[in-house]
Chain A
């Protein structure tokens, strides 16, 4: 496998900035922000750090089973998923990730749609 995006863009030093701005965007979003209303900060940061690291091929594997468990009670819709996907795409673009690499990440996250949405058909 080619070098992981995680390493290509400078490891945790880079990913930490990515995660914080993604975190801000998600919280500020009117579509999905409310889901995070009662989630305490350290938990959310932990989740996003691991999730983003894992999407970029960093030193963690976030299993689909864990994703499923983390989102199961939320009853998310496709619109929610699309919104988060869009926010992630924006974040990556803002941080200078090359378009072809963004596509790779988008494929990765799309592959997890079924695990994140309770009912993938909705």
Chain B
């Protein structure tokens, strides 16, 4: 068998569609089986455009002149399937004649796989987005239960180690006659009222550097100086406290239900930690918390009571009234004072 014969055998046997056409008139000199299977058998005098209808021959010619090569894509309908054929035309010459060699590869499978990957990645991406949203929801929920820095520790290490804060302040608020109100009204009314007021308190707390730890029924507990230490924690709780009272005052002027609260402030040490394993609650314990709770119970309606030791931090900004020494359970005798807005704040309060 001659080399030429072997070459021709090879061209016939491979899965790539091959056609050889004369350059000057694009008439077919040779086609192999895959080519004729996709584009049909050329008639004796037919030329390339007769079989490859969708190819713009002017494009081919200009590309060939520029690069000696043309690449393109064709679609051929075979039975029900649309085949996608990658077309590549290059120049060749022999015996002083110029030819175009037309190579065609069936890339249908590749395209089908690409489509499938597109489809699958769209599914996966959608799921990822949903998971992302779900994660954010869970995170938001956990952030309601504990301060962010505690949450970060929990996320990174899986536990929250109880931490002692030497110097923090606490503001504790409780409503006057809450039990009676709750008994006299529909629970949804009570809840709506609490929700409304506590939401406002949360905003105030956030703005003045306090962090709400929890609400127990009608009691509201916020701290300053933990988990992020702050030198200003005493002023922070006092600032919150006077604004809580002002908010209630203003609210009572326009709302159907009037609320009065007692507020106690405390300062000292406290431990913060997550309590529980399945049901996480971030909570604080310590003398500062106990003191605030006791003073809150001692306070008259719409009054804020604080221990005298806070005085030097508050005296510039707040109006302080000495309440003398009082016997406070488990604290013994303590000098107490009433805290109300200073001149500046009271003036602004009248303005707005």
Chain A residues near B (Cβ < 8 Å): 12, 16, 19-20, 23, 27-28, 33-34, 36-37, 40-42, 45-46, 49-50, 53, 58-60
* Residues of A with C-beta under 8 A to B82: 40-41
How distant is the Cα of A33 from the Cα of B108 in the complex, in angstroms?
A: 18
Which residue of the partner chain B has the closest CB to A16?
B116
Contact A34 B80 (CB under 8 A): yes
Contact A33 B80 (CB under 8 A): yes
Contact A49/B80 with A41-B111, A59-B123, A60-B123 known, Cβ cut-off 8 Å? no
Q: Name B123's contact: one of A20, A33, A45, A50 (CB within 8 Å).
A: A50
Q: Across the A-B interface, how many residue pairs have beta carbons closer than 8 Å?
A: 53
**What is the interface of chain B mostly: helix, strand, loop, or mixed?**
helix
Which of the listed residues B82, B113, B119 has the most CB atoms from chain A within 10 Å of its own CB?
A: B119
* Residues of A with C-beta under 8 A to B123: 49-50, 53, 58-60
Q: Name B116's contact: one of A20, A36, A60 (CB within 8 Å).
A: A20
**What is the interface of chain A mostly: helix, strand, loop, or mixed?**
helix
17 contacts between A and B (CB under 8 A): A16-B120, A27-B81, A28-B79, A34-B80, A37-B80, A40-B82, A42-B115, A45-B119, A46-B119, A49-B116, A50-B119, A50-B123, A58-B123, A59-B123, A59-B127, A60-B123, A60-B127
Cβ distance B307 to chain A, nearest Cβ, rounded Å: 59
Is B139 on the interface with A (CB-CB < 8 A)? Answer: no
Which of the listed residues B79, B81, B120 has the most CB atoms from chain A within 10 Å of its own CB?
A: B120
Contact A45 B80 (CB under 8 A): no
* Residues of A with C-beta under 8 A to B117: 16
Is B124 on the interface with A (CB-CB < 8 A)? Answer: yes
Contact B111 A27 (CB under 8 A): no
Size range of the chain B interface in the assembly: 10 to 19
Contact B80 A27 (CB under 8 A): yes
Is B112 on the interface with A (CB-CB < 8 A)? Answer: yes
Contact A20 B119 (CB under 8 A): no
Is B118 on the interface with A (CB-CB < 8 A)? Answer: yes
* Residues of B with C-beta under 8 A to A33: 79-80
Contact A41 B119 (CB under 8 A): no
Contact B80 A12 (CB under 8 A): no
How distant is the Cα of A43 from the Cα of B133 in the complex, in angstroms?
A: 28
Mask: chain B, 94-127; 1 = CB below 8 Å from A; 0 = not:
0000000000000011011101111110011001
* Given A20-B112, A41-B112, 5 further pairs, Cβ under 8 A: A16-B120, A34-B80, A42-B115, A49-B116, A60-B127
Mask: chain B, 67-82; 1 = CB below 8 Å from A; 0 = not:
0000000000001111
Cβ distance B132 to chain A, nearest Cβ, rounded Å: 14
Contact A59/B116 with A34-B80, A40-B82, A41-B111 known, Cβ cut-off 8 Å? no
Give me the 9 closest cross-chain CB pairs, A-B, nearest first. Answer: A46-B119, A42-B115, A45-B115, A49-B119, A60-B123, A59-B127, A37-B80, A49-B116, A45-B116
* Residues of B with C-beta under 8 A to A12: 120
Cβ distance B124 to chain A, nearest Cβ, rounded Å: 6
* Residues of B with C-beta under 8 A to A50: 119, 123
How distant is the Cα of A40 from the Cα of B79 in the complex, in angstroms?
A: 14
Which residue of the partner chain B has the closest CB to A60?
B123
* Residues of B with C-beta under 8 A to A36: 80
Contact A19 B124 (CB under 8 A): no
Contact A19/B116 with A41-B111, A50-B123, A53-B123 known, Cβ cut-off 8 Å? yes
Cβ distance A51 to chain B, nearest Cβ, rounded Å: 10
